[in-house]
Amino acid sequence: MLRTKKSAYAKWADWVVLWLILVALFGLLKLSYYAPPAAKSTPISLGIKYIPYYAWRSVFRMIIAYFLSILFSIFYGYAAARSKLNEKIMLPILDILQSTPILAFLPLFEIGFSSVLPQNVALETTAILLIFTSQAWNMTFAWYQSLTTIPKELKEASNIFLLNSWMRFKKLELPFGFVSLVWNSIMSWAGGWFFLYAAEIFTVGNKNFELVGLGSYIQVAGSHGNIPALVTAILTLIIIIVLLDQFIWRPLLSWSKKFNLEMVSGGAGTETVSWFYPVLRQSKIILWFEGRILKPTVAAMDKYFNKRLSKKKIVVVKEDRPINKKVLLVGGIILGLVLLFGGQRMISFMSTVKGSDYLHVLEGAFATMMRVFVSLSLSLLWTIPVGVLIGSNKKAALLLQPLVQIMASVPATAFFSILILLFIKVPFGINIAAIVFMMLGTQWYLLFNIIAGVATIPQDLRYTASLMRLKKWNYWKTLILPALFPFIITGSITASGGAWNASLIAEYVSSHDKTYSTIGLGSIIADATAKSNYPVLFVATFVMIVFVTCINRFGWRRLYALAKEKYKME
């Protein structure tokens, strides 16, 4: 009987969550009618001497957004993985949030923050929020996927040793998911650079919002046709990416090697070469920091959590805890009233849109869905073999890994106007350009997840496959594809969500005082945003969220369940 109730709950939980988020977005939209006048933005100077300062401002926003993303990912993913009931509520929210076209609501967030914060602070907060949304979802999905695919025998071992929740997190869960978190952190930074272009400068109707930064500098330089400034800014971005790769990501990847699930030692072909990692391990400053600060801090945390958790009885939880019925009843009544009131106002607002506009929106939804499907399929064709090559071949990783990080991090939006000019004279050129642009913005989610998946394949399984003398196709069918399946699904979910978001830029672009657009939800939302047509903006966003929620609910979620049940490393 309990399973029946959970199953029935799962069927309507997604739609309650969907309705709640739409009501919240509608409330945010209504704030636009009380928007204060836009303050004068700091002008973007194209002097090359300002680039280092602009770069630092952008990197600082990225750092803040990244640490917020890490905290959100760990707490949210952990809560969703620890309880079936939490999973039924939190995964639909995550599905909807990662598929919500945040670029469409970027102006509304700025307006909302402006009502309670000074204009400059509101702009900074809005930019950090956008970067956060480009970083957090893929890390959360990856962390959740790691927690739900921990081998059963490791969980049983933690129960045998009576590990409390803190020690289980420290000794089992965090080490098991660390490799995936690092690779998705690299992808998150690439996604942050991609959206930085839109976060630092945007227009709503006749209002312009600008923040000094590398993204706004690139956009202004491109719109003014200042090639020297544009090239210098992009070279600066590439230098930053290379420095991050050499001094942060590669040492982290080398260190994460110790957390791979291995039954044998040596012979791994997935080791990431880092010249800086041995330097760090021998540095007196690092040794001092590790001995005087890091270890005492971890020991203090161990003491605190162990003392706090020792008072609780350690039990192996196999079923969800019963819910307080009074709390559930009161919460349900309050939630129902909010949904009814907000829903009534939302439906009344949407009724002002003409029937022809609804048909146009539905037509655009199907057109965008086809482009997302094509871009995802084309991305899978090359990311799987290249990801396996980088993850399993040390020489290939040494050459290609920095290259793909640079390619993933350079904002494709800076070159989209050139892409349009290349394809505009070709039949269906704008559609081809839109698909190519979607690929440029989303294929990296797949690639980095696949590389992370290859890095977690135990070496003993590789040896076993070699001893069995499996030929190439049998090797892929028996070992590689099953091991990568959970990572491919995780990458596909975030990539498809990113493709829907990228449609706002891919289907509607202004270049050299000309606007190029094609039928699609992205172009409808972008056009409505530019014209401040909020009813059409909300209807198009509503339809996009419903489409993506249905795809996630009936497609990706079932594949996710299959990955958890059939393709664990047991």
Please state, as a whole number, how many other Cβ atoms lie within 10 Å of the Cβ of residue 17: 21
Q: Which of 504, 458, 498 is nearest to 482 (CA)?
A: 458
Helix (H, G, I), strand (E, B) or coil at 468: coil
Residues of the chain falling short of pLDDT 50: 1-10, 35-36, 38-39, 264-270, 314-320
Helix (H, G, I), strand (E, B) or coil at 311: coil
- The answer to whether residue 264 sits within a structural domain is no
Residue appearing with tokens 């930019």: 127
Q: At what angle do helices 521-530 and 534-551 cross, to 10 degrees?
A: 150
Backbone φ and ψ of 202, nearest 5°: -155, 160
Judgement on whether residues 294 and 156 belong to the same structural domain of the protein: no
Q: Which domain holds residue 61?
A: 47-259+275-282+354-566
| CA gap 27, 549 in Å, rounded | 20
Judgement on whether residues 199 and 70 belong to the same structural domain of the protein: yes
- The answer to whether residue 329 sits within a structural domain is no
When divided into structural domains, the chain yields a total of: 2
Residues with Cβ within 8 Å of 398's Cβ and at least 6 positions away in sequence, in order, are 273
Judgement on whether residues 290 and 234 belong to the same structural domain of the protein: no
Residue appearing with tokens 């172009």: 523
Judgement on whether residues 252 and 287 belong to the same structural domain of the protein: no
Judgement on whether residues 61 and 164 belong to the same structural domain of the protein: yes
Backbone φ and ψ of 500, nearest 5°: -60, -40
Residues with Cβ within 8 Å of 321's Cβ and at least 6 positions away in sequence, in order, are 83
| CA gap 193, 61 in Å, rounded | 11
Structure tokens at 475: 């090797």
Tens digits of per-residue pLDDT, 353-407? 888 888 988 998 899 999 999 999 999 999 999 998 888 887 887 788 778 877 7
- The answer to whether residue 325 sits within a structural domain is no
Residue appearing with tokens 């977005």: 25
CA Rg value for the chain: 24
- The answer to whether residue 343 sits within a structural domain is no
Residue appearing with tokens 């829903």: 343
Judgement on whether residues 301 and 438 belong to the same structural domain of the protein: no
pTM of the model: 0.74
Per-position DSSP letters for 361-386, written without gaps between them: HHHHHHHHHHHHHHHHHHHHHHHHHH
Contact by Cβ (8 Å): 80, 144: yes
- The answer to whether residue 322 sits within a structural domain is no
Judgement on whether residues 144 and 202 belong to the same structural domain of the protein: yes
Judgement on whether residues 289 and 230 belong to the same structural domain of the protein: no
- The answer to whether residue 189 sits within a structural domain is yes
Judgement on whether residues 236 and 372 belong to the same structural domain of the protein: yes
Q: What is the CATH number of the domain that holds 77?
A: 1.10.3720.10
- The answer to whether residue 396 sits within a structural domain is yes
Judgement on whether residues 439 and 300 belong to the same structural domain of the protein: no
Tens digits of per-residue pLDDT, 457-511? 877 777 777 778 777 778 888 888 888 888 888 888 878 877 887 787 778 776 5
Judgement on whether residues 305 and 404 belong to the same structural domain of the protein: no
Judgement on whether residues 291 and 250 belong to the same structural domain of the protein: no
